[in-house]
Structures are given as structure tokens and as C-alpha cells.
Amino acid sequence: MAPVRIRHPKGVATIQIDLDGENVSVQDLQQAIHGATEILPSRQSLKSGYPPRALTLIPELPLSSLGLQKGDPIIVSELPGEPPVNAPAVTSAPPPEAASSRSPLETVTGALSQLLPGSSSKGPDSVEVDGSFLIHRVVPDDNSCLFSSVALVFEQSITKASQVRKIIAEGIKTNPETFNEAILGMPPPKYIETISKPSSWGGAIELSILAQHYQTEIASIDVETGRIDHFTPPGDFSASMRCILIYSGIHYDAASLAPMRDAPDEWHQTLFEIKSSDDSDPILVAAKKLADILRSKKAFTNTSTFDLKCEQCGKGLKGEKEARVHAEQTGHTQFGEY
């Protein structure tokens, strides 16, 4: 028997299973996961490796068919809806990404994003606001979370995340004095090339450009601390509207207001009139309460302090900074939590 670490919608667990056993089946793994997560085998979606690949789950096959190695963590999620009767839960693996398409530094944040606890399978969290509900709008952990969240807010669809990246690139091109090499940390053309890739994360620089483009304040609330960072359009323009993003330490989501928790997407409001310049604004008060709920569920990651292990050489590391240095020195990009 060997310990296998799983990350599932309610947190992290360790199950015991014989990865090398000749008589151990995929179904045995699924039953062990069911015992730890209460997710039925027929509703399970499993990923492992880096980049995370979907595992093809055919219960009757031997466990060795999944290609799992000792120490490989498994990411567990629950499939939506009810599966057909007697139908095996089969998922197809996406085509692997070419190793040459991403540098070690670009892949570190993607690896760390898989360590973030998922949202509850019971639905998104929400806070009541004057008879409506401020709802946590979860977007995929696919390295485009900031761009997907902004696309959801301003374009009403996460499928337009690539268009948001183009806005960033154009903003840097048209403001060379503001976004110079000293600010970007690399020559602007190189930064534009990097941020245009779907594997690259965004942060404060991107949010400031997007606030200017949409002439709207972007309020980003940190789940761990409850701090709200305000990104406002520069110059004399005074934003009259704001939107809410939720930041977990390695992931961005959006927040929107709806008349009921299960309202269809078209009923959601994503832009809010600014009623107060400080954090006493009612929508910001609600956003803080939403962050409190997520904090109570440990739905955040402190990238400065959490303990990591390089899955390729076993070296212990402290936080994202050491992981980045290690990746740059060795080319290793597979990390797990201790």
C-alpha cells in the first residue's frame, strides 16, 4: 500500500492504495476516492501529472492503465449533471502541450495553481445584499484566470479571454513611457510576447491597463487578508463604476450580483455604481463577507510561505520565490505541497 495525495472540492486528503498491485483496478481507486470525498465513482473526474492530464477512467482496467507513479498527486472534481445509467465515467485526455512552448518560469505558476483548493460541489458561495446575492463566479484554473474573470465581467463570456490579452498588448504598445522595461521587468516586446501566450499569468500591471481601457475601477479582494486593492483609471478621469475580482493568492475569480442564487447568467450584474470611495461601499462590504466565507474554507494559498517539494528531485522549497529560482536553475517544473 502507498499513500496517494488527492485534492478535491472540499480540501486535501490522503488515501492508501497499492499502485503496483496486479489485482488492483481503476474501480478500486475510484472507491477509495469515494470514501474520502463522497463523490460517486460515476461522477468523478481525475487529473494528474504536469501539465495536469485527464485520466481515462475505465473501471474494469488495472490501475496501472492510468500510468500513475508513486508521489503523483491526483486532482479530483465532480462531473456536472447525472451520468447515463450503467455508463462508465470516461474522460478523454487533452493533447499534451509541447515542452518547448513554455519556459520553466512560465510553468511554475501553472504548477502552483493546481495546489489551490477547488470550490464546493454544492455550488458557488454567495452573500445576500438587499434582497439580491453577490455570487462567487468561479473560472477555470488554466493560467488565464485573470483574463477569463475580466472577460466575464466586461464581455459576459470567459471565451473572450484571448481578446483581453490583446487589450493588454495594445495598452503596452501605446504607452511606452509608462510601461517601460523598468516597470515590466523585461523589454516591452518580450513582455507582450509573453503575456500573449495562454500559459502566462496576469497581475497588477494587467489590471491597471484594463481599468484604463474600460474606464472602470477594478477592485481586487484578497481572500487570505481581506485587503482590497483598487485599480483605477489614471489621469483626471473619475470612475463612476467598479467591478469585483476575488484573488486567492494564485487564482482570480469574479463576483456578480443576481436576484437569486441560481439565476441564469444573463441576469447577473457585473458592474456597480461607486457609492463610496472607501471600503464602506455596500458592494465592497459584501465582497469582504464573501472573502470571509472563502477564507473559512481555506480557499487561498500563501505563495510566500507554503512548503513545497520538487517532485522531480525531491528538494524542499519555501514559497513561490524559491520554486521560481529552482525552476530557473534546474528546469524542473513539477511541485507538490508537503
pLDDT at 40: 85
pLDDT at 97: 33
SS3 276: coil
Strands, sheet with 316-318, edge to edge from the N-terminal-most edge strand:
316-318, 307-310, 335-337
pLDDT at 306: 66
49 neighbors 68 (Cβ within 8 angstroms): no
- Between CA 223 and CA 208 the distance in angstroms is 20
Confidence of residue 320 (pLDDT cuts 50, 70, 90): low
Q: Which letter does DSSP use for residue 141 in this model? A: S
What ranges make up the beta strands (E) of the chain? 2-8, 11-17, 44-48, 53-54, 74-78, 126-129, 132-137, 217-222, 228-231, 241-247, 252-258, 272-273, 307-310, 316-318, 335-337
Q: pLDDT higher for 315 or 115?
A: 315
Distances in Å between the Cα of 220 and the Cα atoms of 53, 155, 225, 324, 327 are: 30, 18, 12, 24, 29
SS3 326: helix
pLDDT at 102: 40
Highest mean pLDDT among 21-30, 48-57, 279-288, 310-319: 279-288
Residues of each domain in the chain carrying CATH 3.10.20.90: 2-96
Residues of each domain in the chain carrying CATH 3.90.70.80: 126-295
- Between CA 113 and CA 144 the distance in angstroms is 11
Residue 304: pLDDT over 70: no
- Between CA 214 and CA 153 the distance in angstroms is 11
C-alpha grid cell, residue 143: 493560467
pLDDT, tens only, 153-163: 999 999 999 99
pLDDT at 302: 67
C-alpha grid cell, residue 155: 464581455
pLDDT at 336: 67
> CA neighbours within 13 Å on the CB side: how many for 32?
22
> What CATH number should be reported for the domain whose range is 2-96?
3.10.20.90
Confidence of residue 221 (pLDDT cuts 50, 70, 90): very high
pLDDT at 68: 85
SS3 332: coil
Dihedral angle sign, alpha carbons of residues 10, 12, 13, 17: positive
The DSSP H or E segment spanning 145 is helix 145-155
What is the chain's mean pLDDT, rounded? 81
Please state the rounded mean pLDDT for residues 268-289. 93
pTM: 0.61
33 neighbors 26 (Cβ within 8 angstroms): no
Residue 280: pLDDT over 60: yes
Strands, sheet with 11-17, edge to edge from the N-terminal-most edge strand:
11-17, 2-8, 74-78, 44-48, 53-54
Please state the rounded mean pLDDT for residues 278-286. 92
pLDDT at 50: 66
Other CB atoms within a 10 A radius of the CB of residue 310 amount to 19
pLDDT at 222: 93
pLDDT, tens only, 104-155: 444 555 555 555 544 444 568 999 998 899 999 999 888 899 999 999 999 9
Instruction: Catalogue the active-site residues.
Output: 142, 145, 251, 332
The domain made up of 126-295 is a member of CATH 3.40.50.2000: no
pLDDT at 98: 30
Please state the rounded mean pLDDT for residues 13-35. 86
pLDDT at 24: 85
- Between CA 83 and CA 87 the distance in angstroms is 7
